[in-house]
Amino acid sequence: MANLNVNICGVQFKNPVIAASGTFGFGREFNEIYDISCIGGVSTKGTTMEPRLGNPVPRIAEGPSVILNAVGLQNPGVEHFIADDLEFLKSKGVVVIANVAGSTLEDYRNICRRLNGLVDMIELNISCPNVHAGGMALGIKPQNIKEVTRITRAELTKTPLIVKLSPNVESIVVNARVAEEGGADRISLLNTFTGMAIDLERRRPVIANNTGGVSGAGIKPIALRMVYEAAHAVKIPVIGMGGITCGRDALEFMCAGARAVQVGTANFTDPLAIPRIIGEMNEWLDAHNISDVNQIIDTLALN
């Protein structure tokens, strides 16, 4: 079997496959199906300072090869996570990545201050509206990305910082670079695309929020392109995601320059997706006489 260990800025992963935020909860439900200690890491459900009920239902719609969601960051809040979920995740021996969100810069500052030193990494979800920017998501404008990264980096004296980038931008390269300039230790991408589903009989949007985030296998070609561009625009490590459903998909992202990958929507269609993907990666590497997964990182040869 190939060596699947990867090291990202001093944090050791037993393998490069991470459960993506919003698709895995805090791991307890999946641990009833299989022992999640086989996973490289878990990016938690997006967590805010205070509990959130999320958006009204319906808030999920399925389409060919994609899912549209507008869950609205429903979560029990950071204190509940610390008291009830953190030790469980640590006991499983996975890298614990706390995905955090807020509506203002102060929200991000406070939650990062609270989690500093308690988790292995922080992942900033900056796709939520920022009231100080007229309701615009912090992850859209480069100056906002740089500012929220700078502010949270100052709070994280003991914890590495990941900035999760939105694809709904003018230039993923520019936004990757400003995250790096703001102090990100690594970036992850991509978050969901903005989309809509329509109920033609009712002439109304399917989900109550009207629009939502599009994820799933159908977005993989776009995600691969953006990961490749971002990975070659910055010097910090990149974690890639977007439509990964099998081991070959995961290895393609690493070939494009990602040091690790996150698997999200595939968990909905196949609860055993992550251990299967890890096994398929090993099989492919063995079949191609590659003894270490790190040997495939950034090996794409363009025409």
**Does residue 128 carry a catalytic annotation?**
yes
As assigned by CATH, the class of the 6-57+77-196+216-296 domain is alpha beta
Q: Does residue 174 surpass a pLDDT of 80?
A: yes
Q: Tell me what pLDDT residue 128 has.
A: 73
What is the reported pLDDT for 127? Answer: 81
Residue 69 pLDDT grade (very low, low, confident, very high; cuts 50, 70, 90):
very high
Reading phi first (left if > 0) and then psi (alpha if -120 to 50, else beta), residue 60 is in beta
Report whether 20 contacts 44 (CB < 8 A). no
Structure tokens at 246: 């099998």
Q: Which of 9, 38, 112, 128 is catalytic?
A: 128
Among 117, 128, 147, 149, which Cα is nearest to 47's? 128
**DSSP 3-state assignment of 181?**
helix
Reply yes or no on whether the pLDDT at 130 is more than 70: no
Mean per-residue pLDDT over the chain, rounded:
96
pLDDT per residue as tens digits for the range 202-256: 999 999 999 999 999 999 999 999 999 999 999 999 999 999 999 999 999 999 9
pTM score of the predicted model:
0.97
Strands 212-215 and 121-125: unpaired
Consecutive H or E run containing 6: strand 6-8
- At residue 37, does pLDDT exceed 80? yes
Instruction: Judge contact between 75 and 19, C-beta under 8 A.
Output: no
Q: What is the pLDDT of residue 212?
A: 94
Where do the domains of the chain lie?
6-57+77-196+216-296
Cis previous bond, 58, omega within 30: yes
Give tens-digit pLDDT for 40-52.
999 999 999 999 9
Q: Which residues pair with 61 in a beta bridge?
A: 68
pLDDT for position 257? 98
Can you name the residues that pair with 260 across neighbouring β-strands?
239
